Structure 1
């Protein structure tokens, strides 16, 4: 059985809308998928070590990822070193500006873990439109499909 972990840090409903789109899209996808959705501050090293793929969702805060997601990285980076390399990853950013600072900072950190951003990130600027939520759902489904067939 494959395991997908969705970690999110949210101060606003916009990021939670992205999380809801992922949850809805993967909830009934396959009997061979264990799905775990956690706020970043509740996630542990064990949650990370037990997953085959990860979705990271964050708002853009002052041109950076949310502090709660950064805290997760701070708590798990060294203990996870060499133990999560090759993990399939999808990045989601809810931005009030351009989202590029948040995206760039997450990419630097996941590179240090040795994770692979297997699909293009989704950056939603402002209130998510239906088409953007559909894009988030589609990317999550693609991530799971790739996991289930062993592509990543």
Structure 2
């Protein structure tokens, strides 16, 4: 069986958001995962080809003024139409580092994902309020869940 591709497109402008990105990558790269290659591409660098090569995607963003990061919005603006017809049904997951409640951010991304016809592998993970060390465990679990789903053929 050839390796499945898990793409992480995550905005990580601070030390804590970089730690979240790294936790997702750590979970997705667990030793129990045998046939999944995971890679991170920053949203401003991600291309439609990155998405087209992926078997599943994890999106990560900060909450900025009640919306997704400009970098993730730019990713969607550049990639939406080139992948629309070719990646329908692709499993996806989302984590939001929200200083407040993340509602607007979640709603905006869910609207775009609905338009792309991607399939939610789980409810979005919203990491609300002041930084908590437990956020890293949740992000690692998200990465592991997505990679294990691909590895086992569930996704």
Paired residue for 2:111?
A: 108
Q: Residue 16 of structure 2 corresponds to which residue in structure 1?
A: 14
Aligned to 1:150: 153
Partner of 2:49: 46
**In 1, distance between residues paired with 2:22 and 2:113?**
23
How many Å apart are 1:76 and its aligned residue? 0.9
Task: Note if contact 2:24-2:139 (Cα within 8 Å) is conserved in structure 1.
Answer: yes
Following TM superposition, by how much is the alpha carbon of 1:124 offset from its aligned partner in structure 2, in angstroms? Answer: 1.1
Show the 5 A alignment for 1:67-86. Answer: 67-86=70-89
Deviation at 1:86, TM superposition (A): 0.9
Range 66-75 or range 8-17, more displaced: 8-17
Query: In the TM superposition, what is the alpha-carbon distance from 1:151 to its structure 2 partner?
Result: 1.2
1:83-102 paired onto structure 2 within 5 Å: 83-102=86-105
Segments of structure 1 that go 5 or more residues without pairing to the other structure are none
User: For the residues of structure 1 that align with 2:148 and 2:34, how far apart are their CA atoms?
Assistant: 12
Conservation of the 8 A alpha-carbon contact between 1:40 and 1:69: yes
**Superposed displacement of residue 127, structure 1:** 4.1
Measured in 2, the distance between the counterparts of 1:40 and 1:65 equals 12
Q: Whose relative contact order is higher, 1 or 2, with alpha carbons under 8 Å and at least 6 apart?
A: 2
Task: Confirm or deny that 1:4 pairs with 2:11.
Answer: no
Q: Are 2:131 and 1:131 equivalent residues in the alignment?
A: no
Deviation digits for residues 109-133 of structure 1 (CA, Å, limit 9, x no counterpart): 0111111111121111234323222
**3-state SS of 2:100 partner:** coil
Q: Are the equivalent residues in 2 in contact too, given 1:55–1:89 (CA < 8 A)?
A: yes
The runs of 5 or more residues in structure 2 that have no matched partner are none
